[in-house]
């Protein structure tokens, strides 16, 4: 005979079965996304993480000059360079049978102290031909290159001894570490990267504001129009996507050029000396607005179509003015679409490369152009990675701040 048990005795068994079922469901879900996750790790996340890691990686000098790095480990700026460091450098350079074995280390040192590449390679070449029977290594090195008598050369080697460094990140922020280890900012006339950072975010913010100014009324017109008219307007919004981005950029270059239609039209109106419209920020803003304004219109339109017109009529019937209806009823409901469109436009403007490179002048080159330059031209991957880190961190911080401000603004608009 089966004995009756209270329902409370079955509760632990039911809880265990439910937990086991949930774990099995999670495992099945994970197995479904595992191939995609592995693909992203191998193809996207892994290479990006490797590149960003180059911003703090500093192992070239230690690999090429291991004895010298060890001999300088306890050396402090302001004290004489130890004799063991001279001996260690001579031994390291003599073991470097080919210039290629010192190339990466010489390049890294030359970033920190211009002239170190030629100093190191010249010393190595002369040392291979010098008499090896000597005990005064300091005099030997100074005879091969007088710069070895300067402590700045040894400070550069010590600061590049790795395995990690803040050199590239400081350089990307127009800062440097002095021989004594102190961090100083470069003078304004020598700043190279901070103005580019400011230019990048200024252009992105300007284009975002212009996209709101042009896209919001257009999206409202689409949402309030009949289906036939809305379809025509939607085709106008999507029409630029049927043309390649490069073609659109080159077309704007022709339109804004010295002999372009726009400048000719301004002169036909009586403006003898119209403003230059090409190779400046105006051209960049116009082209970016043309490219990215659909990314503002589409999110706004999708949200505006869901706003019940009854809410607006009810507010008006209660005596609210049109401005009050827009501010307290309509705007809080379309704020998610406005936030999504602004983020899309802003973030994509931060990473755009082709438009400033073709239509912008020398002063309008932002971070993407600099990153491409250091990757493709100078092969300074560390500095390119540092600029990428600054851009990535800035985007995430601004995204977090933007989300916070959007939520606060939506709540305050709805409460008024």
When pLDDT is cut at 50, 70 and 90, the band that residue 125 belongs to is confident
In a domain, 263, yes or no: yes
Nearest to 380 by CA among 19, 11, 20, 108: 108
Mean pLDDT of 168-185: 89
Q: Which of 141, 163, 189 is the last residue of a domain?
A: 189
pLDDT, tens digit, 9 for 90 and up, residues 230-259: 999 999 998 888 888 888 888 888 888 877
Q: Is the pLDDT of residue 188 over 80?
A: no
In a domain, 215, yes or no: yes
For residues 201 and 166, membership in a common domain is answered with no
pLDDT, tens digit, 9 for 90 and up, residues 81-103: 999 999 999 999 988 767 777 88
Check residue 228 and give its pLDDT.
92
Q: Which of 160, 189, 218 is the last residue of a domain?
A: 189
Mean pLDDT of 383-412: 82
Note the Cα 80 to chain centre separation in Å: 42
Q: Is the pLDDT of residue 1 over 60?
A: no
> Scanning the structure block, which residue is given the tokens 């200024």?
202
For residues 296 and 256, membership in a common domain is answered with yes
For residues 90 and 67, membership in a common domain is answered with yes
In a domain, 5, yes or no: no
Check residue 65 and give its pLDDT.
92
For residues 340 and 284, membership in a common domain is answered with yes
Question: What is the average pLDDT score of the chain?
Answer: 86
Nearest to 337 by CA among 300, 365, 363: 300
In a domain, 265, yes or no: yes
For residues 44 and 150, membership in a common domain is answered with no
Mean pLDDT of 304-315: 88
When pLDDT is cut at 50, 70 and 90, the band that residue 164 belongs to is very high
For residues 142 and 254, membership in a common domain is answered with no
Higher pLDDT pick, 41 / 189: 41
In a domain, 10, yes or no: no
Domain that holds residue 158: 60-189
If one counts the domains in the chain, the total is 3
Mean pLDDT of 290-307: 92
When mean pLDDT is compared over 10-19, 111-120, 372-381, the highest value belongs to 111-120
For residues 238 and 258, membership in a common domain is answered with yes
For residues 261 and 297, membership in a common domain is answered with yes
Mean pLDDT of 374-388: 90
pLDDT, tens digit, 9 for 90 and up, residues 206-227: 999 999 999 999 999 999 888 8
For residues 155 and 199, membership in a common domain is answered with no
pLDDT, tens digit, 9 for 90 and up, residues 142-160: 888 999 999 999 999 999 9
When pLDDT is cut at 50, 70 and 90, the band that residue 45 belongs to is confident
Which of 59-68, 183-192, 216-225, 307-316 bottoms out in mean pLDDT, i.e. has the lowest?
183-192
Question: H or E segment at 224?
Answer: helix 194-224
Which of 11-25, 196-210, 282-296 bottoms out in mean pLDDT, i.e. has the lowest?
11-25
For residues 183 and 209, membership in a common domain is answered with no
In a domain, 6, yes or no: no
For residues 295 and 227, membership in a common domain is answered with yes
In a domain, 1, yes or no: no
Q: Which residues contact 154 (CB under 8 A, 6 or more apart)?
A: 72, 75, 81, 85
CA separation (Å) from 232 to 225, 226, 304? 10, 10, 17
pLDDT, tens digit, 9 for 90 and up, residues 21-35: 888 888 888 888 888
Q: Is the pLDDT of residue 131 over 80?
A: no
> Scanning the structure block, which residue is given the tokens 């409370």?
8
Q: Is the pLDDT of residue 389 over 60?
A: yes
Q: DSSP for 248-316?
A: HHHHHHHHTSTTSHHHHHHHHTT-SSPPP-SSSHHHHHHHHHHHHHHHHHHHHHHHHTTS-HHHHHHHH
Q: Is the pLDDT of residue 414 over 60?
A: no
In a domain, 9, yes or no: no
Q: Which of 161, 189, 217 is the last residue of a domain?
A: 189
For residues 45 and 130, membership in a common domain is answered with no
Q: Is the pLDDT of residue 11 over 80?
A: no
Higher pLDDT pick, 220 / 188: 220
Q: Is the pLDDT of residue 7 over 60?
A: no
Reported pTM:
0.81
């Amino acid at each position: 005979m089966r004995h009756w048990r209270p329902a409370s005795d079955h509760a632990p068994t039911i809880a265990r079965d439910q937990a086991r079922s949930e774990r099995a469901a999670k495992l099945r879900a994970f197995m479904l996304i595992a191939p995609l996750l592995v693909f992203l790790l191998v193809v996207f996340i892994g290479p990006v993480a490797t590149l960003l890691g180059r911003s703090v990686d500093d192992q070239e000098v230690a690999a090429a000059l291991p004895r010298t790095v060890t001999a300088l480990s306890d050396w402090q700026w302001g004290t004489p360079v130890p004799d063991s460091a001279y001996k260690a450098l001579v031994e390291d350079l003599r073991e470097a049978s080919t210039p290629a074995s010192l190339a990466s280390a010489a390049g890294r040192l030359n970033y920190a102290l211009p002239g170190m590449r030629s100093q190191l390679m010249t010393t190595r070449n002369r040392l291979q031909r010098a008499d090896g029977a000597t005990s005064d290594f300091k005099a030997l090195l100074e005879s091969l290159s007088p710069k070895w008598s300067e402590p700045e050369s040894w400070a550069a080697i010590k600061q590049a001894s790795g395995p990690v460094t803040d050199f590239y990140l400081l350089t990307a922020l127009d800062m440097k570490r002095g021989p004594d280890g102190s961090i100083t900012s470069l003078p304004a006339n020598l700043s190279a990267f901070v103005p580019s950072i400011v230019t990048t975010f200024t252009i992105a913010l300007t284009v975002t504001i212009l996209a709101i100014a042009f896209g919001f009324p257009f999206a409202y017109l689409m949402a309030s129009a009949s289906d036939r008219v809305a379809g025509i307007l939607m085709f106008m919004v999507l029409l630029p996507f049927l043309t390649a981005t490069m073609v659109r950029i080159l077309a704007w270059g022709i339109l804004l050029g010295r002999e372009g239609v726009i400048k000719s039209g301004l002169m036909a109106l009586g403006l003898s000396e119209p403003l230059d419209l090409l190779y400046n920020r105006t051209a960049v803003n116009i082209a970016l607005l043309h490219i990215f304004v659909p990314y503002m219109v589409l999110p706004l339109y999708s949200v505006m179509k869901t706003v019940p017109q009854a809410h607006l009529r009810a507010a008006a019937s209660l005596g609210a003015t049109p401005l009050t209806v827009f501010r307290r009823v309509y705007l809080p409901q379309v704020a998610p679409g406005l936030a999504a469109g602004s983020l899309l436009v802003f973030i994509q403007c931060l990473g755009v490369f082709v438009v400033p490179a073709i239509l912008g002048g020398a002063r309008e080159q932002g971070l993407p152009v600099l990153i491409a330059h250091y990757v493709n031209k100078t092969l300074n991957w560390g500095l390119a990675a540092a600029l990428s880190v600054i851009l990535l961190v800035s985007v995430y911080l601004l995204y977090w701040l933007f989300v916070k401000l959007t939520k606060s603004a939506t709540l305050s608009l709805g409460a008024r």
